[in-house]
Structure 1
Amino acid sequence: MQVEEIEINSEYIQLGQFLKLANVVESGGMVKLFLADFPVFINGEQDQRRGRKLYPNDLVEIEEVGAFRVIQQ
């Protein structure tokens, strides 16, 4: 499986912001709907909270979308 690296320049990023940064959703308003329709796994654990904090080296996997690794700038 190909893992796309998404770079952040802060200590952490919230899942909702991350989905926009990774171009998974187009706007913040779409995040809630997206999370309701697609299971999101963070480090192998399902979590649908858009406020979930993601830190460098966290792995985000979304069925039918792909896998993303959070990296620090």
Structure 2
Amino acid sequence: MSTEHEVPIRDESIRLGQLLKLAGVVDDGAMARSVIELGEVSVDGAPEVRRGAQVRPGQSVIFAGQTIRVVAGG
């Protein structure tokens, strides 16, 4: 079953690895790097293998059946 939640960010964008940690779907940076490099994360429906990829408000990240919607604020 998939779940969806919004994660507000303060800046114009956030690095993908940081977003996964902020959203609480990974425990630490090492886990974030691993799941991203293994191709388990997608941004707006496309696989993303760069931990430093910039994610902006309005974009959606999917990992392990969870959809993370990035919103401005926070």
Q: TM-score range by the shorter chain?
A: 0.7 to 0.9
Instruction: Give aligned pairs, total.
Output: 72
**Is 1:32 aligned to 2:33, yes or no?**
yes
**Which residue of structure 1 aligns with residue 15 of structure 2?**
14
Q: Distance in 1 between matches of 2:20 and 2:45?
A: 17
| TM-score, reference length from structure 1 | 0.85
Question: What residue identity is the alignment partner of 2:46?
Answer: E
CA RMSD in angstroms comes to 1.5
Counterparts in 2 of 1:1-73, with a 5 A limit?
Answer: 2-37=3-38, 39-62=40-63, 64-73=64-73
CA deviation map 1:29-63 (0-9, x unaligned): 2222222445211111111210000000101112x
Q: Which runs of 5 or more residues in structure 2 are unaligned?
A: none
Q: Distance in 2 between matches of 1:17 and 1:47?
A: 14
Q: Which runs of 5 or more residues in structure 1 are unaligned?
A: none
| TM-score, reference length from structure 2 | 0.84
